[in-house]
Amino acid sequence: MVRLNTHFKKLKREYVFPIIERKLAEAREKHPHLSVVNLGVGDIALPLVPSVAKAICDATQEMTTKSGMRGYGPSEGYSFLKEAISTVSYAGMIDPDEIFISEGTNGDSTNIQELFSSKNKIGIPDPTYPAYLDSAIIGGRLSKVTLLPCTEENGFCPVPPHEHLDVIYLCSPNNPTGVAMTRAQLKAWVDYAKREKAILLLDNAYEAFVTSPEVPRSIYEIEGAKDVAIEFRSFSKSSGFTALRCAYTVVPKALENGLMNKLWLKRQSIKYNGVSYPIQRAAQASLSPQGLKETKAQVQHYLEQGKILSTGLNQLGFSCVGGKDAPYIWWKAPSGKTSWEFFDEILEKCQLISIPGRGFGQHGEGYIRLSTFTTSDLAKLALDRLCALK
């Protein structure tokens, strides 16, 4: 008899998006003539930049020729893109053979668990991106998980615990809170990992949004981090690749005397066939001088919407963080209201979609997340409508 993975039954976190879709349909039925402003989804709102689109077309056309045809590429990515990342994104402090190209940080940050024994104790921030915990549960590791609270009291950043952990997830700039960890905070974790002989898994998908001088763009700016940290980055939000799919993971050779690097290469070689050639050429183009000029302008646009929204909320007397180093705003619900109650209120009164914080973990209760992936007109319209809450 076939036996299924019973660990799926342990996934108790509510999946918010079907509920939101149902509530959205009800709101549209109730207010058929009003447009709903969607600040819930964390997806891009601006079109693909010209240099990226041209690179895809040129690479595809190249593949129509006998000399330029391509089949399967290397599972770890083409050298031209790895070298560009090494030079442009890391100023040479990371070697190309420490970089592994993939289709997204979601898959990499969860699949990386395959490299570790099921006996390892795992630390996971709460609230944070749900996939870390859910993948640990599916893999039968629930009893080994320790949640690291990210609350108003600790500035929404996880603090190294007194107890021992083997593997620790960090997400900075954080989804959903929009708060980024400072050098001092990251150094505390590097020191902890060295002391406990642990490994840090840093989801750094939003590094392009960092503006604060005290926030590093990479954990490898912290001395000794190469000995204890794996970093995940993505082209999705920095270069508008959510539909194209391209990201990368850095596994330094200093980790476990090079064993982690070799294991991840073996894992990718067995289970992954690589990102397509045109998409990798597009990612390379996004790192060119013109590509950086175009994509940074889009990132700046999203940051401006974050400033508009957070400033407006503060002027209306609400409490929120984020929107400065990340494309998310973490909005505290009025006293006594749950995440879903506040979600319902702003949907009903303002026709505005958010994400209830409870969907990101138990310590997300009492908050909602707003995405700043929007246009100037919609950000201003959202604020106009939010005046109804005042």
User: In the chain, where are the structural domains located?
Assistant: 6-48+292-389, 50-290
Q: Which tokens belong to 116?
A: 């570790």
The CATH class of 50-290 is: alpha beta
Residues 199, 204, 205, CA angle at the centre, nearest 5°? 140
Torsion of CA 281, 291, 110, 91, to 10 degrees: 100
Q: Distance between CA 346 and CA 96 in Å, rounded?
A: 47
Q: Distance between CA 71 and CA 61 in Å, rounded?
A: 14
Return the pLDDT at 55: 98
- The ranges of the chain with pLDDT < 50 are none
Return the pLDDT at 18: 84
Same fold, 6-48+292-389 and 50-290: no
Ordered DSSP codes for 42-83: ----SPPPHHHHHHHHHHHHHTTSTTT------TT--HHHHH
Q: Which tokens belong to 110?
A: 């969860």
Do residues 319 and 330 lie in contact, with contact meaning Cβ atoms separated by under 8 Å?
no
Query: Tokens 């799926």 appear where?
Result: 8
Residues 338, 343, 348, CA angle at the centre, nearest 5°? 130
In this structure, how many other beta carbons lie within 10 angstroms of the beta carbon of residue 110? 20
Question: Phi/psi at 240 (nearest 5 deg)?
Answer: 75, 35
pTM over the 0.85 mark: yes
3-class secondary structure, 329: strand
Alpha helices in 287-354 (DSSP H): 289-315, 339-350
Query: Tokens 């940051």 appear where?
Result: 303
Q: Distance between CA 228 and CA 197 in Å, rounded?
A: 8
Determine which helix (DSSP H) or strand (DSSP E) holds 230, and give its type and residue range.
Answer: strand 229-234
**CB-hemisphere CA count at 13 Å for 37?**
24
Return the pLDDT at 336: 86
Q: Distance between CA 18 and CA 388 in Å, rounded?
A: 27
Torsion of CA 179, 184, 189, 192, to 10 degrees: -160
pLDDT digits (tens, 9 = 90+) for 128-186: 999 999 999 999 999 999 999 999 999 999 999 999 999 999 999 999 999 999 999 99
The CATH class of 6-48+292-389 is: alpha beta
Return the pLDDT at 5: 96
